[in-house]
Amino acid sequence: MISLVFATNNPNKQHEVQAKVGSAFKILSLTDINCTHDIAETGLTLNENASIKSHYIFNNYQINCFGDDTGLEIEALNNQPGVYSARYSGSRDSEKNIDLVLQKLDGIGNRKARFRTVISLIINKQEYIFEGVVNGLIRQQRSGTGGFGYDAVFEPNGYNITFAEMDLDEKNKISHRGLAMQKLITFLQQL
């Protein structure tokens, strides 16, 4: 069985990814390898941040790994918050980030948005990039209690519920992270 370290300190992401891969692969956390470092996201793009995370783990622990970065891109806000999604309000407080998005969209009719996840996998000393995108819109108010981040205001196209109203299996089938992970899983199964 292939073991991979997921370069994240976000337990919600860890849970989503493990649910997606099931027993196909062993996903190790940073805690499992005794990594207590908070890997800085200093890149200007999602690709750069994902790559920074995976390279940090590989360079310091010489273990197969992957890192990801996700951004919410809102059309009317020139694709903001984008790479700064997790700290859009100046903090990592999801509620404050949502409040700022809703404030900036107040009175704007165009609520089109997309979530985009980029995964950088380093395996056998080679880097591979996978991307997942889901289009949707930003609701005018929160709905649902599941998920994390902007899930309570993001309604994917073709649905009349937010990510926060979906169960994890349903979300993993259509979400940006779920789609990127499926590409990674398919790639690993061909090794």
Average pLDDT over residues 12-29: 85
Distance CA 21, CA 27 (A): 8
Band (pLDDT 50/70/90 cuts) for residue 15 is confident
pLDDT 10s digits, 40-65:
899 999 999 999 999 999 999 999 99
Torsion of CA 182, 4, 120, 185, to 10 degrees: -20
pLDDT 10s digits, 169-186:
999 999 999 999 999 999
Kindly state the greatest CA–CA separation across the chain: 52
Stated pTM of the model: 0.93
Catalytic residues: 69
Q: How many CB atoms lie within 10 A of CB 123?
A: 19
Percent of the chain with pLDDT over 70: 100
Q: Specify the range with the lowest mean pLDDT, choosing from 21-25, 79-83, 157-161.
A: 21-25
User: Tokens representing 117?
Assistant: 């996840």
Q: Report the Cα 141 to chain-centroid distance in Å.
A: 22
What architecture is the 3-189 domain classified under in CATH? Alpha-Beta Complex (3.90)
What does each C-alpha distance from 185 to 20, 25, 108, 121, 188 come to in angstroms? 9, 9, 39, 11, 5
Average pLDDT over residues 107-121: 98
Q: What is the pLDDT of residue 24?
A: 77
Average pLDDT, the chain: 95
Q: In this model, does residue 139 exceed pLDDT 80?
A: yes
Question: Do 148 and 166 touch, CB atoms closer than 8 A?
Answer: no
Q: What is the pLDDT of residue 16?
A: 83
Q: What is the pLDDT of residue 1?
A: 75
Average pLDDT over residues 123-135: 97
Q: In this model, does residue 89 exceed pLDDT 80?
A: yes
